[in-house]
Amino acid sequence: MTTGSSVALGSTARGRLSLAFRTVFLAFVGFVLFGPVVILAVFSLNDSIILGFPFKGATTSWYVQAFREPNIWASLWTSLKVAAVVTPVSLLLGLTSAIALTRFRFRLRGTITAFVALPLVIPWLVIGVGSLLFFSATDIPLGLFTIGVSHVVIAFPLATALLSAQLYRLEPHLHEAALDLGATEREALRLVVLPLLVPTLAASAIFVFSWSFNNFIVSFFTAGFENTFPIWVFSTLRRARDLPMVNAISTLVSVVQVIVVVGAWQALRRVMDRRGQDIREIVIGS
């Protein structure tokens, strides 16, 4: 909603109606999107184990309890470890596959493109169950390794998609120009192609990291005895008296994630501004 159009329309009755409608609509969308998170945050401060009104009074005791719960920290640490390995591996796979699929013409290119994109449309539940069947059939013990592998499977196609979109948009002759000026293939990649992909790589890293860190369904099937944070949340939810503590730690983790992601995005935008690029190019194209 632009200020200009609402001012112009605001002068007529029809404009006022439309403005009211748009406000209500936006409020509704906002409520559906953020309502659950807000309720979670509100009840994490409620001095009661019952998730319902009336409000019994404010307390931070659930946060204190959460801080004293060692399983929370162990599971958060597990999730961080997994995401920290899944992210670079996915970026590498995403980068190499994106370059291969955009730069070269070869037989079965279309087929391979489809296979790379497949994990983006197959339900994660199916991927989770499939991974479990695969790992048990091949006698690979479930644990950090299997979580990591299955996370890479679902996350690297996202990096491929973002990076190949950017490679398509980059001037196709830039690479040739580098070769023409005496750069070897490796120099052309290092000096021209990669620097221009840095913002997209950073954006991919943000997305892949949060996909891995937040993933429950695939981890649930491939974790074995490991507890990632989402798995810990799920298992703790079954004990009603711990519910407020889950609310507390979930609120905290969400806030930290939002701060980290927004912070990283802002930093990226400043870098791109300095280079004269527009961050919107990464997600919506230029």
Whichever of 104 and 225 has its CB closer to other proteins, that residue is 104
Shortest Å, Cβ 285 to other proteins: 16
Shortest Å, Cβ 85 to other proteins: 30
- 182: phi > 0 → left, psi -120 to 50 → alpha, else beta; which? left
Whichever of 99 and 155 has its CB closer to other proteins, that residue is 99
Which range touches other proteins (CB under 8 A), out of 16-24, 89-97, 250-258, 271-279? 271-279
Whole-number Å distance between alpha carbons of 62 and 45:
7
- Among residues 244, 246, 249, 224, which one has the least CA distance to residue 235? 246
Which range touches other proteins (CB under 8 A), out of 53-61, 143-151, 185-193, 218-226? 185-193
Whichever of 194 and 283 has its CB closer to other proteins, that residue is 194
What phi and psi values does residue 58 have, to the nearest 5 degrees? -85, 145
Shortest Å, Cβ 27 to other proteins: 40
**Chain residues 189-208 in contact with other proteins, contact rule CB under 8 A:** 191-192, 195-196
Shortest Å, Cβ 159 to other proteins: 21
List the beta bridge partners of residue 58: 46
Whichever of 59 and 277 has its CB closer to other proteins, that residue is 277
Q: Does 105 bind other proteins (CB under 8 A)?
A: no
Shortest Å, Cβ 153 to other proteins: 33
Shortest Å, Cβ 90 to other proteins: 24
Q: What is the largest CA-CA distance in the chain?
A: 74
Residues 6+ apart with CB under 8 A from 272: 199, 278, 279
Shortest Å, Cβ 169 to other proteins: 11
CB count, 10 Å around CB of 118? Answer: 12
Whichever of 173 and 238 has its CB closer to other proteins, that residue is 173
Q: Does 255 bind other proteins (CB under 8 A)?
A: no
**Chain residues 144-183 in contact with other proteins, contact rule CB under 8 A:** 171, 173-174, 176-183
Whole-number Å distance between alpha carbons of 92 and 184:
21
Whichever of 52 and 276 has its CB closer to other proteins, that residue is 276
Number of residues in contact with other proteins, rule: CB under 8 A? 20
Shortest Å, Cβ 97 to other proteins: 23
Binding site for other proteins (CB under 8 A): 171, 173-174, 176-184, 187, 191-192, 195-196, 275-277
